[in-house]
């Protein structure tokens, strides 16, 4: 079964083809430099860019793989969560292609796609505990199969990636700054007393990262020498002079630790509570973080379960994960009618897919 995946939920336009669980080809265009001028994603610009770029990426992918629309069994598209205008570009394109080619239309939950992505690199084992740590979400799921997700915990305010990016902004790193924090963190040992591990003294599996952000803001206010001047581009970070570099590295290492250890505590709690799991899957952009990867390795080992982490390019938004999740849904019998809607936020569950699938 051959499935095209389309991703336009935020600021990456991406397409990929997956055949029977294997990646045949992919194309991605990021808008990150455009939005960096504004220090964050500008929704109107994002939709226009998707509209401009998506048809070209699609044509290029088809040329590279030697396929045409008639060779596709399904067209999978990220239907949410994400920016409404951006999602609509992908969803409309997918509907047109499905209508023209006769391929099935499959709406995909972007967050589930993140968590299923490592299935492209190795076998996924279920039931799995899933930790999604991305730019907009911090979710813990019980994943019973590729099409059965139960949400166990979530952030009450900022997502982990948001906490990274806002902290990076306070430290004057270029946008999006998560990876710069991680990079500098490698050069120092964390001071575990510097920042609190937020929202751990409660029995829930929920997160709250806003307190950590405030702690960093207070620290920066007390140490203005850390953040003077601008660092508009990555080279400025690479060229940071010695003393200031060492002080910033200590802040970054401590922040990395506070986030990673908070995630570790909640994941351990979930694993204790949920009974036997076959694996721990960690996905989303923050799964690229060195501290998070290390902390999750420790948890998985302690519980004697497999750790599934996507390679770095599969962590952030991409088309391959949408195509793969679409393939999993398609082979489980799910598909949509042309009444498929984009869902910018909220629950996106299989019942909804079945209902929509019986429509057209």
Residues that bind ligand ATP (CB under 6 A): 9-10, 82, 110, 114, 134-137, 161, 164-165, 176, 178-179, 182, 284-286, 288-289, 316-317
- What is the nearest approach in angstroms of Mg ion to the Cβ of residue 284? 10
Residue 89 or 277: the one with the smaller Cβ distance to Mg ion is 89
Where are any strands of DSSP class E within 146-276? Answer: 148-154
Strand-pair partners of 143: 128, 149
Residue 40 or 196: the one with the smaller Cβ distance to ligand ATP is 40
Give the span between the Cα atoms of 49 and 289, in whole angstroms. 28
Give the span between the Cα atoms of 80 and 296, in whole angstroms. 27
- What is the nearest approach in angstroms of ligand ATP to the Cβ of residue 160? 7
- What, of Mg ion, ligand ATP, Fe ion, none, does residue 82 touch, CB below 5 to 8 Å by kind? ligand ATP
- What, of ligand ATP, Fe ion, Mg ion, none, does residue 158 touch, CB below 5 to 8 Å by kind? none
104 has binding-site annotation: no
CB 85 within 8 A of CB 43: yes
- What is the nearest approach in angstroms of ligand ATP to the Cβ of residue 103? 25
Residue 198 or 285: the one with the smaller Cβ distance to Mg ion is 285
DSSP 40: S
Where are any strands of DSSP class E within 81-147? Answer: 104-109, 128-133, 138-145
Give the span between the Cα atoms of 326 and 6, in whole angstroms. 10
191 has binding-site annotation: no
Give the span between the Cα atoms of 300 and 302, in whole angstroms. 5
What track of x and - describes contact with Fe ion for positions 305 through 334 (by CB under 5 A)?
A: ------------x-----------------
- What is the nearest approach in angstroms of ligand ATP to the Cβ of residue 316? 4
Give the span between the Cα atoms of 155 and 228, in whole angstroms. 32
- Give Cα separations from 117 to 11, 174, 359 (angstroms): 18, 27, 29
Q: By CB under 5 A, which span of 19-27, 54-62, 131-139, 198-206 interacts with Fe ion?
A: 131-139
């Amino acid at each position: 079964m051959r499935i095209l995946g389309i991703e336009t939920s935020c600021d990456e336009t991406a397409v990929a083809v997956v055949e029977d669980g294997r990646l045949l080809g992919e194309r991605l265009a990021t808008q990150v430099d455009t939005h960096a001028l504004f220090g964050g994603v500008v929704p109107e610009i994002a939709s226009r860019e998707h509209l401009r770029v998506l048809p070209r990426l699609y044509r290029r992918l088809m040329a590279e793989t030697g396929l045409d629309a008639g060779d596709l069994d399904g067209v999978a598209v990220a239907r949410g969560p994400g920016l409404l205008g951006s999602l609509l570009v992908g969803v409309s394109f997918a509907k047109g292609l499905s209508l023209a080619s006769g391929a099935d239309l499959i709406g995909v939950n972007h967050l589930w796609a993140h968590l299923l992505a490592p299935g492209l690199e190795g076998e996924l084992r279920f039931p799995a505990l899933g930790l999604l740590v991305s730019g907009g979400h911090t979710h813990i799921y019980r994943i019973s199969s590729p099409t059965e997700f139960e949400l166990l915990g979530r952030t009450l305010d900022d997502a982990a990636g948001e906490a990274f990016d806002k902290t990076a902004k306070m430290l004057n790193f270029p946008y999006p700054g998560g990876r710069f924090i991680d990079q500098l963190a490698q050069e120092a040992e964390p001071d575990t007393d510097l920042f609190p591990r937020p929202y751990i003294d409660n029995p829930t599996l929920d997160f709250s990262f806003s307190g950590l952000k405030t702690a960093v803001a207070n620290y920066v206010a007390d140490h203005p020498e850390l953040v003077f001047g601008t660092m508009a581009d990555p080279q400025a970070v690479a060229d940071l002079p010695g003393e200031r570099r060492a002080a910033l590295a200590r802040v970054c290492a401590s922040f990395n630790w506070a986030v990673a250890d908070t995630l570790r505590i909640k994941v351990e709690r979930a694993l204790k509570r949920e009974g036997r799991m076959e694996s721990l899957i960690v996905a989303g952009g923050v799964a690229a973080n060195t501290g998070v990867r290390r902390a999750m390795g420790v948890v998985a080992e302690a519980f004697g379960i497999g750790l599934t982490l996507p390679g770095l390019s599969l962590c952030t938004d991409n088309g391959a994960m949408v195509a793969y999740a679409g393939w999993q849904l398609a082979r489980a019998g799910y598909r949509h009618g042309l009444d498929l809607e984009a869902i910018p936020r909220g629950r996106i569950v299989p019942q909804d897919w079945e209902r929509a699938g019986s429509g057209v």
